[in-house]
Amino acid sequence: MALTACTTLSATAQRVTDVFADEEFIKHVSTTVGGELKSFEISGPTTGAFTTKTVRTLPTTRMPEIARKVVGATLTVTQLEQWSAPAADGSRSNTIKLTVAGAPLDVAATQKLSVSPDGTLVELEGEVKSSIPFLGAKIASAAEPVIGKALNLQATLAQKWLDSHSA
């Protein structure tokens, strides 16, 4: 199932990158949705190419019943992000891979941060897949709107975070 999200944040691409790679922000996003941040690792400074690894638990209360039957009351999600170094104009991209422990669900996405007159345009495109024969497509289609909402929520919370944590 296809994933898409797009929003504009009123900050530079570097400030947006710094927020998306901030452990306190990631913890805030996790707790806002009723989850818990288990671990966060970052390799390299956010001013260049770097990677992050986030492990969090998330409730499945907003997922359709078919998905909850397979995965249970909570999910442990590992999110790996590989960020490019910024281009000359400050834009950059990020590849995102999500895996869910105990569930045959994988998410692969690309996030682009582009300079715009209003700040930074954040565009995300990806795909949700499940490898369960026969039920895989149903599980992926049930999970896609939940994952899409979570990624959109991250952008909304990022703008609020930027507004309240201005440098």
Query: According to the model, what pLDDT value does residue 151 have?
Result: 65
Tell me the per-residue pLDDT of 92-113, one tens digit each, with 9 for 90 and over: 999 999 888 877 778 899 999 9
Cα distance between the two ends of the chain? 39
Full domain range(s) for residue 138: 2-164
* Arithmetic mean of pLDDT over the chain: 84
Q: Give the CATH number, domain containing residue 50.
A: 3.30.530.20
From CA 140, how far away is CA 110, in angstroms rounded? 18
Q: Is the confidence at residue 81, as pLDDT, over 60?
A: yes
Question: Cα angle at 14 between 10 and 16, to 5 degrees?
Answer: 45
Query: According to the model, what pLDDT value does residue 11 have?
Result: 94
Query: According to the model, what pLDDT value does residue 93 have?
Result: 96
State mean pLDDT over 134-142: 59
Tell me the per-residue pLDDT of 28-78, one tens digit each, with 9 for 90 and over: 998 988 889 999 999 999 999 999 999 998 887 766 676 667 667 788 889
User: How many domains are there within the chain?
Assistant: 1
Is there a contact between 16 and 113 (Cβ–Cβ < 8 Å)?
yes
Angle between helices 136-164 and 23-32 (to 10 degrees): 120
What size, in residues, is the chain?
Answer: 167
